[in-house]
């Protein structure tokens, strides 16, 4: 690439290929003053004046407050360049060293945070559709290598994207497929002045060390290392997009809302490929209010392996960031932690039937009716239709009936079993999730004998027999008390 016309042609082709902007859009151009951003500003300016383009440009520069007079001179240089081109100029000045002391962030992270905060504010001010960044192929190679050294997955290997939406604005990088030597050549051939940031020559920063030391060392073994890393990023980016879409499709099939979070079947999860399992967990965590910086491979892998374990089938795992993952038999849910959960305690007395008893604490309603058993009654008339109904010999019941919350040590004499069983063990046998158990009331008679666990099981007390003359029917409506 030799001159500005060739660069503008290239940038225009990237804009068409990746739909970076439309005619009459406003674009904020981030200009540091280096050869890459200066070349980008001039290329976009040339495109903006082409017939049918009518792009509106804003030149934005950030003074991070690191290098005193040198930083001030760079700001003046960029301002003059924008003025010569007739482009509005916006300057953001920050005391990043003070911000670092206040937040404890690293220098590069703090500078990046303030830089993007400023660029987004300028985009809002001018109603811009995009922020143009001058990252090039060498920057991409450094990014991929940094992430490799720190440990990363497919998303990290994809490096920076040519186009990425952030806060309702597109971040666009039209130069990401060309290299710095091309941009310097354009500047030299076209007489475009630029500045050199002295801090880029110091290897005390991780990115600079990768650029100055690591990549040149590895380049001894691969003369096309930057190009290889860029190809890796391009392939990884496309495969990452594919996997993300596949995970979204799986999410649509398996996931459902649950208690302010998201739930899915452990059995269905186990049928997925391990790669999709990890992607689904990551997607769910991204959808929930968890600090995404905390979503790393180890956390995802811990969740995945716990879900795949057959035993125990009930557990809870603190994920940090106010989230927990829990499994209750086949149901796995990732949801906000409930720190103020109160144990439900209630007692209701029924002196007589028929009666309807809403239980607001559980979102249920119980109905009690009496009917005589006459000669015309068939066997089906005195058999319950399911666990939501129970029939008793009314003459063997001692009133009042008591409907209450479950208590520690509750025991029920079980129909068909010689002896009694703890209610807790009945719930376990029936695979009732722990979070559901406190919503199941206990029905007793006046002597304290447990007659029925609505929706679960009836006791052996007051069974209907040949001498039963009156039947007490108990029924539960699971939504009636809400």
Tokens of residue 467, six digits: 């001498």
Picking from 198, 193, 175, 200, the residue whose alpha carbon sits closest to that of residue 78 is 193
DSSP E strands: which ranges in 25-141?
A: 26-30, 56-63, 89-93, 130-132
Could you tell me which residues are beta bridge partners of residue 450? Answer: 444
| Cα distances (Å, whole numbers) of residue 10 to 14, 40, 131, 136, 160 | 6, 11, 18, 13, 19
Q: Would you tell me how many other CB atoms lie within 10 Å of the CB of residue 150?
A: 9
Q: Consult the annotation and say whether 363 binds a ligand.
A: no
Q: Would you tell me how many other CB atoms lie within 10 Å of the CB of residue 227?
A: 13
Angle between helices 180-190 and 4-18 (to 10 degrees): 140
Could you tell me which residues are beta bridge partners of residue 197? Answer: none
Q: Consult the annotation and say whether 465 binds a ligand.
A: no
CB-CB contact of 370 with 474 (8 Å): no
Coil, helix or strand at residue 200: helix
Q: Consult the annotation and say whether 261 binds a ligand.
A: no
Pairwise CA distance, residues 326 & 468, whole Å: 47
Pairing relation of β-strands 26-30 and 130-132? parallel
CB-CB contact of 32 with 134 (8 Å): yes
Q: Consult the annotation and say whether 97 binds a ligand.
A: no
Give, in degrees to the nearest 5, the angle at Cα 92 between 88 and 97.
Answer: 160
Q: Consult the annotation and say whether 477 binds a ligand.
A: no
Cβ within 8 Å of residue 455, ≥6 positions away: 387, 388, 440, 476, 478
Q: Would you tell me how many other CB atoms lie within 10 Å of the CB of residue 408?
A: 7
Pairwise CA distance, residues 147 & 458, whole Å: 60
Picking from 87, 84, 83, the residue whose alpha carbon sits closest to that of residue 26 is 87
Strand ranges of the sheet holding 314-320, from the earlier edge strand across to the other edge: 256-258, 261-265, 331-336, 323-328, 314-320
HSE-up of 406 (CA within 13 Å, CB side)? Answer: 23
CB-CB contact of 360 with 481 (8 Å): yes
CB-CB contact of 323 with 335 (8 Å): yes
Q: Consult the annotation and say whether 37 binds a ligand.
A: yes
- DSSP secondary structure letter of residue 320: E
Could you tell me which residues are beta bridge partners of residue 67? Answer: none
For the chain, the distance separating the N- and C-terminal CA atoms, rounded to the nearest angstrom, is 71
- Binding site per annotation, positions for ATP: 32-37
- Binding site per annotation, positions: 32-37
């Amino acid at each position: 690439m030799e001159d500005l016309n060739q660069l503008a042609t290239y940038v225009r082709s990237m804009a068409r290929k990746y739909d970076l902007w439309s005619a009459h859009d406003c674009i904020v151009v981030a200009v540091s003053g280096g050869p890459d951003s200066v070349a980008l500003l001039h290329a976009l300016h040339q495109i903006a004046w082409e017939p049918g383009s009518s792009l509106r440009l804003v030149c934005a520069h950030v003074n991070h407050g690191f290098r005193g007079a040198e930083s001030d001179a760079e700001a003046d240089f960029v301002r003059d360049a924008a003025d010569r081109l007739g482009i509005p100029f916006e300057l953001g000045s920050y005391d990043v060293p003070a911000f670092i002391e206040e937040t404890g962030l690293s220098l590069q992270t703090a500078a990046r945070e303030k830089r993007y905060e400023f660029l987004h504010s300028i985009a809002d001010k001018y109603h811009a559709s995009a922020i143009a960044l001058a990252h090039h192929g060498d920057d991409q190679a450094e990014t991929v290598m940094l992430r490799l050294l720190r440990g990363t997955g497919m998303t990290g290997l994809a490096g920076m994207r040519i186009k990425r939406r952030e806060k309702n604005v597109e971040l666009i990088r039209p130069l990401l497929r060309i290299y710095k030597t091309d941009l310097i050549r354009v500047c030299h051939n076209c007489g475009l002045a630029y500045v050199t940031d002295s801090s880029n020559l110091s290897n005390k920063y991780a990115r600079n060390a990768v650029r100055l030391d690591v990549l040149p060392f590895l380049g001894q073994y691969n003369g096309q290392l930057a190009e290889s890393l860029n190809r890796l990023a391009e392939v990884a980016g496309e495969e990452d997009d594919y996997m993300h879409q596949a995970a979204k499709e799986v999410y649509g099939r398996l996931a459902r809302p649950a208690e302010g979070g998201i739930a899915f079947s452990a059995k269905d999860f186990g049928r997925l490929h391990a790669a999709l399992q990890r992607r689904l967990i990551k997607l769910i965590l991204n959808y929930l209010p968890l600090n995404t910086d905390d979503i790393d491979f180890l956390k995802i892998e811990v969740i995945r392996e716990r879900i795949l374990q057959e035993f125990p089938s009930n557990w809870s795992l603190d994920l940090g960031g106010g989230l927990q993952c829990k499994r209750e038999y086949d149901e796995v849910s990732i949801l906000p932690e409930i720190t103020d959960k109160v144990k439900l305690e209630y007692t209701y007395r029924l002196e007589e039937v028929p009666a309807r008893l809403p239980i607001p604490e559980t979102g249920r309603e119980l109905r009690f009716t009496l009917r005589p058993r006459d000669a015309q009654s068939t066997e089906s008339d005195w058999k319950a239709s399911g666990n939501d109904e129970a029939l008793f010999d009314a003459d063997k019941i001692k009133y009042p009936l008591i409907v209450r919350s479950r208590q520690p040590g509750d025991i029920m004499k079980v129909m068909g079993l010689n002896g009694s069983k703890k209610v807790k063990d009945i719930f376990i046998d029936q695979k009732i999730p722990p979070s559901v158990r406190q919503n199941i009331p206990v029905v007793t008679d006046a002597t304290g004998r447990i007659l029925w666990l609505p929706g679960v099981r009836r006791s052996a007390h007051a069974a209907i027999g040949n001498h039963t003359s009156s039947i007490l029917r108990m029924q539960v409506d699971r939504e009636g008390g809400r």
